[in-house]
């Protein structure tokens, strides 16, 4: 070899080593994570009533409805969030889901020229979209409930094309990972080993390291924001150790930043009073709030009573109860539009901290009727702050099942919901003074008629027309034409 060639080769080797070392150092070097806003601004249970949320130091009622679940992936996100804000919505569900149901979704991993995925490399577009959603929601004061895992991404028709499937990536084989090419059963069968990988379960290190890497990236981007809640799974019926591991993991990562992450688990069991839900309700130190969305598979009085039983159960350690998925829309699989509206409003009056319409076709999304309900909810809140009241159906006389629902601070604040035209008696015996009754047209989201009410007896309350109505009944300030609104 010519001497020059030797020197050139040595130089190239040295340069190559230097570049490799620099790249390795850059990969290992962690940029400091800077919090957005102050720690005092972060969402947390309201200090004066921990059944509700506090954000930026003030109590907040979370109301929502949106057209998709993995909202960060949708085209036109900014416009959709603006539409929400315009009607008073401040709460979204965001699954980290990547299933390509509509063609615009992308996976988080890099797809190589040969068509296979490299789980060691990110798809920048996925994470750009996620970061953009975090920024836009923060700017609009919208609280995001992130669902870390969605079991429907990893079974049936969506698994054969997923990057985690060993036939689709260059990182592990079926033998190494213990994952099969197909899982044709409903995910509720719990056939998928993907959800048994944690050190507390089967300790599948091959797959777990990539799951952990994805969660770390999600947390690196989301933990700095003050408007984030975390739910481990979408309606799971799996091993409780799976969700508990990730809940602890997220809280530990947040603790390292000097902040608290509020986490929960969502169970599939439609009976929220069952032992299944105690896996969350009995562990308030781990799960800082509850999500009982599957109660929305129920109707009428059962829907109300089960929610109230859960509310009573956690009375010693009260905390927020969210319902991020309210089912029910004409033509959908889980009840009619009247069911969806009724469920949303029963939870609102019944003491839920957050209520959201599920996406179509299973829910009303951000349809005209959903937006009307959100506007109506804000009208009600403007006169009766829910965090000042408690469910009070015992004050209703001559009430038929599912006829009317009441929340109250007896003596000065009352709010009532009628799923359909009806008439009940409001027991104001022993209460003194005059009140103002103001009706709210639920399906239009506007004020209706108003009237004066004199306390001291059982007062008849009859809806001013057909359809769904809500009403506020607030005590008039002595010497003033205005009524107190809390």
CA dihedral 445, 446, 448, 454 (to 10 degrees): 90
Q: How many Å apart are CA 187 and CA 1, to the nearest integer? A: 63
Q: Report whether pLDDT(227) > 90.
A: yes
pLDDT > 90: percent of the chain? 91
| Residue of 375, 373, 463, 357 lying closest to 418 (CA atoms) | 463
Higher pLDDT, 4 or 337: 337
- Of the CA atoms within 13 Å of residue 430, those in its CB half-sphere come to 4
CA dihedral 133, 134, 139, 142 (to 10 degrees): 90
pLDDT average, residue stretch 446-473: 97
Q: Residue 62 — very low, low, confident or very high, per pLDDT cuts 50/70/90?
A: very high
Residues 292-305: tens digit of each pLDDT: 999 999 999 999 99
Q: Report whether pLDDT(457) > 50.
A: yes
Q: Report whether pLDDT(438) > 90.
A: yes
Structure tokens at 286: 């781990």
Instruction: Give yes or no for a contact between 354 and 386, defined as CB atoms under 8 angstroms apart.
Output: no
pLDDT average, residue stretch 27-43: 79
Q: Report whether pLDDT(185) > 70.
A: yes
Q: Report whether pLDDT(480) > 80.
A: no
- Could you tell me the end-to-end alpha-carbon distance of the chain, in angstroms, rounded to an integer? 90
pLDDT average, residue stretch 78-101: 97
**Residue 146 backbone dihedrals phi, psi, to 5 degrees:** -85, 130
What pLDDT is stored for residue 5 in this prediction? 41
Q: How many CB atoms lie under 10 A from the CB of residue 460?
A: 12
What pLDDT is stored for residue 385 in this prediction? 98
- 57 backbone φψ class: left, alpha, beta (φ>0; ψ -120 to 50): left
According to DSSP, the β-strands at 143-149 and 91-95 are: parallel
What pLDDT is stored for residue 1 in this prediction? 37
Instruction: Give yes or no for a contact between 352 and 324, defined as CB atoms under 8 angstroms apart.
Output: no
Q: Residue 208 — very low, low, confident or very high, per pLDDT cuts 50/70/90?
A: very high
pLDDT > 70: percent of the chain? 92
What pLDDT is stored for residue 33 in this prediction? 83
**Residue 440 backbone dihedrals phi, psi, to 5 degrees:** -125, 125
Taking all residues of the chain, what is their mean pLDDT, rounded to a whole number?
93
Instruction: Give yes or no for a contact between 149 and 235, defined as CB atoms under 8 angstroms apart.
Output: no
Q: Report whether pLDDT(205) > 80.
A: yes
Q: What is the DSSP string of 150-216?
A: -GGGSSGGGSTT-TTSGGGBSS--HHHH---S---S-GGG---GGGG-STTTT--HHHHHHHHHHHH
What pLDDT is stored for residue 477 in this prediction? 75
How much is the pTM? 0.91
Residues 274-294: tens digit of each pLDDT: 999 999 999 999 999 999 999
pLDDT average, residue stretch 181-194: 97
């Amino acid at each position: 070899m010519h001497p020059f060639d030797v020197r050139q080769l040595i130089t190239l080797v040295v340069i190559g080593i230097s570049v490799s070392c620099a790249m390795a150092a850059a990969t290992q070097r962690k940029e400091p994570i800077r919090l957005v806003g102050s720690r005092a601004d972060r969402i947390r249970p309201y200090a004066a009533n921990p059944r509700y949320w506090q954000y930026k130091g003030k109590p907040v009622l979370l109301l929502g409805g949106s057209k998709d679940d993995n909202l960060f992936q949708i085209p036109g996100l900014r416009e959709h969030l603006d539409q929400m804000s315009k009607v008073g919505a401040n709460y979204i569900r965001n699954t980290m889901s990547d299933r390509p149901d509509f063609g615009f979704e992308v996976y988080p991993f890099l797809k190589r020229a040969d068509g296979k995925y490299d789980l060691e490399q990110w798809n920048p577009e996925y994470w750009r979209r996620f970061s953009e959603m975090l920024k836009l929601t923060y700017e609009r004061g919208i609280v995001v409930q992130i669902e870390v895992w969605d079991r429907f991404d990893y079974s049936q028709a969506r698994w054969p094309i997923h990057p985690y499937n060993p036939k689709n990536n260059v990182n592990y084989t079926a033998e190494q990972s213990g994952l099969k090419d197909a899982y044709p059963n409903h995910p509720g069968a719990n056939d998928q080993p993907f959800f048994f990988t944690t050190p507390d379960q089967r300790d599948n290190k091959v797959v777990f390291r990539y799951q952990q890497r994805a969660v770390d990236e999600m947390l690196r981007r989301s933990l700095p924001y003050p408007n984030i809640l975390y739910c481990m799974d979408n309606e799971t019926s799996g091993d409780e150790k799976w969700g508990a591991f990730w809940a602890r993991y997220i809280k530990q990562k947040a603790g390292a930043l000097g902040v608290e992450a509020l986490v929960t688990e969502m169970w599939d069991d439609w009976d929220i009073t069952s032992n299944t839900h105690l896996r969350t309700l009995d562990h308030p130190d781990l799960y800082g709030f509850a999500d009982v969305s599957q109660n929305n598979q129920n109707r009428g009085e059962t829907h109300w009573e089960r929610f109230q039983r859960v509310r009573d159960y956690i009375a010693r350690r009260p905390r927020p109860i969210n319902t991020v998925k309210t089912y029910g829309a004409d033509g959908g699989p889980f009840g009619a539009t009247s069911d969806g509206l009724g469920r949303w409003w029963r939870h609102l009056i019944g003491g839920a901290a957050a209520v959201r319409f599920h996406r179509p076709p299973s829910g009303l999304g951000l349809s005209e009727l959903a937006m009307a309900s959100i506007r109506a909810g804000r009208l009600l809140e403007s006169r009766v702050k829910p965090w000042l009241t408690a469910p009070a159906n015992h004050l209703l006389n001559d009430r038929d099942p599912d006829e009317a629902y009441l929340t109250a601070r007896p003596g000065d604040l009352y709010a009532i919901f009628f799923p359909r035209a009806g008439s009940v008696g409001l027991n104001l015996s022993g209460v003194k003074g005059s009140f103002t009754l103001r009706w709210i047209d639920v399906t239009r989201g506007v004020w209706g008629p108003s009237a004066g009410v004199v306390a001291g007896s059982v007062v008849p309350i009859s809806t001013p027309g057909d359809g769904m109505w809500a009403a506020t009944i607030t005590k008039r300030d002595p010497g003033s034409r205005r009524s107190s609104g809390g």
